[in-house]
Amino acid sequence: MAEWNWTLEEARQLDREDALAAFRERFYLLPDTIYMDGNSLGLCSRDAEQAVLKALEEWKTLGIDGWTDASPPWFYLAEELGKREADLVGGKPEEVIVTGSTTVNLHQLVATFYRPEGKRTKILADELNFPSDIYALQSQVLLKGLNPEEHLVQVKSRDGRTIDEDDIIATMTDEIALILLPAVLYRSGQLLDMERLTKEAHRRGIVIGFDCCHSIGSVPHRFSEWGTDFAFWCNYKYLNAGPGSVGGLYVNERHFGTRPGLSGWFGYNKDRQFDMVHEFEPAGTAGAWQIGTTHLLSSAPLLGSLQIFAEAGMERLRAKSLHQTEYLMGLIDAMPESLGYRIGNPREDDRRGGHVSLEHEEAVRICKALKARRIIPDYRSPNVIRLAPIALYTSYEEVWRTAQALREIIENREYEAFETGRNVVA
């Protein structure tokens, strides 16, 4: 760990030395607020706002001709966004498409690649994954006429926080037809070794894919290099494309020509899409996995956001993210143990995503006390305070002030003024 003295002046010096500091001015920061929840919903940028206003103007002035005459043409917008996002996942431009939503894309990909046959009838997942993924996998097993209790295998956690890759690999038996895992675990922020897991799955003839909702825009990926079969993600967390914005997916080029499990007209060969014939001819790219018409107004913000990422560069963003989360962990480590805070995320750079998972038995009330101080955290049951310094817009001073607030909330017993029940939206 770097040598720090944990002073406010040191935090301000780190801000003065920050090569990415200027990007902060591109975002609408909440007044008098420290926003530490960008791993759940990223802030709005001026670039995203302008992209939406441009889309509205084109709708107003072009009408239906926007499908061909807008810039970029709406008819090819999903493919254009896929090209711009490809570097973030280490995919080739034709292997990435921006479409649908996280769970719809999960259903699409599992419907395509889950083919129970002979002994290979089971899906391998983990017990710490986000519930929506598990619901979708249960549904896909049921659609095959099978019982999820038997055919959905969930690797157990040894500590309730993380999943050991050795345990995942040990569960890759000849009964497994497909593997679906999170790139970064949403509670603890553990970053799985996707390259190793892909290699081990393929050694056993198993298709493998990853949910990248908590990694894209925070962690570099190299899916084409690794040979990963598929992946999917949302764009509203680290990529700042707005609440409920369009999702994205990756399909390795060796699967091109495979008929998607859920075929729809926007997945048709673009050159012949308007022939309106009833024989499905999939696009020769990841575009084949589109189902319906591009959602223009939920896609437009991503055009602006990806411009920022192109300028900042994923490697620089990752380096700053690691530095800021290390700094936050150091500030917490410097507190007296009697305050009761525990760091629940892996500390190693190659095992840590973009947020710090801070555990405390009073996590619910601490989160409420933080919000009363206009510091926005994220609570995850039963005892996790998620704190995400976002490399594009969180300052080191804000990280320092968040840590001081955490200390004072316990020392002054401020948390006792709040009820223990969580809100409907945690």
Instruction: Check the annotation: does 214 bind a ligand.
Output: yes
154 sits in which H/E element: strand 152-155
Please state, in angstroms and rounded to a whole number, the distance separating the CA atoms of residues 114 and 176.
10
CB contact at 8 A, 258 and 314: no
Instruction: Check the annotation: does 131 bind a ligand.
Output: yes
What residues does 117 pair with on adjacent strands? Answer: 120
Give which of 393, 34, 398, 380 is closest to 214, Cα–Cα.
Answer: 380
What φ, ψ does residue 41 adopt, rounded to 5°? -150, 115
* Residue 86, token pair as written in the block: 């490809």
Please state, in angstroms and rounded to a whole number, the distance separating the CA atoms of residues 198 and 182.
13
* Residue 61, token pair as written in the block: 């002035």
Please state, in angstroms and rounded to a whole number, the distance separating the CA atoms of residues 369 and 417.
8
User: What per-residue string of b and e applies to 288-313 under the rule 16 or more CB within 10 Å gives b?
Assistant: bbbbeebbbebbbbbbbbbbbbeebe
Instruction: Check the annotation: does 132 bind a ligand.
Output: yes
Instruction: Check the annotation: does 164 bind a ligand.
Output: no
Q: How far apart are the first and last CA of the chain?
A: 32
Instruction: Check the annotation: does 114 bind a ligand.
Output: no
Instruction: Check the annotation: does 47 bind a ligand.
Output: no
CB contact at 8 A, 389 and 317: no
Instruction: Check the annotation: does 28 bind a ligand.
Output: no
Please state, in angstroms and rounded to a whole number, the distance separating the CA atoms of residues 155 and 58.
49
The type of residue at 327 is: Y
Instruction: Check the annotation: does 162 bind a ligand.
Output: no
Instruction: Check the annotation: does 333 bind a ligand.
Output: no
What residues does 328 pair with on adjacent strands? Answer: none
Instruction: Check the annotation: does 198 bind a ligand.
Output: no
Instruction: Check the annotation: does 346 bind a ligand.
Output: no
Residue 412, Cβ neighbours under 10 Å: how many?
10
Contacts of 3 (CB under 8 A, 6+ apart): none
* Residue 393, token pair as written in the block: 């817009």
Give which of 324, 319, 316 is closest to 397, Cα–Cα.
Answer: 324
Give which of 81, 86, 31, 96 is closest to 305, Cα–Cα.
Answer: 81
**Strand duo 384-387 + 378-380: pairing:** antiparallel
Please state, in angstroms and rounded to a whole number, the distance separating the CA atoms of residues 414 and 426.
19
Coil, helix or strand at residue 115 = coil
Please state, in angstroms and rounded to a whole number, the distance separating the CA atoms of residues 232 and 17.
35
Annotated binding site: 102-103, 130-133, 211, 214, 236, 265, 293
Annotated binding site for pyridoxal 5'-phosphate: 102-103, 130-133, 211, 214, 236, 265, 293
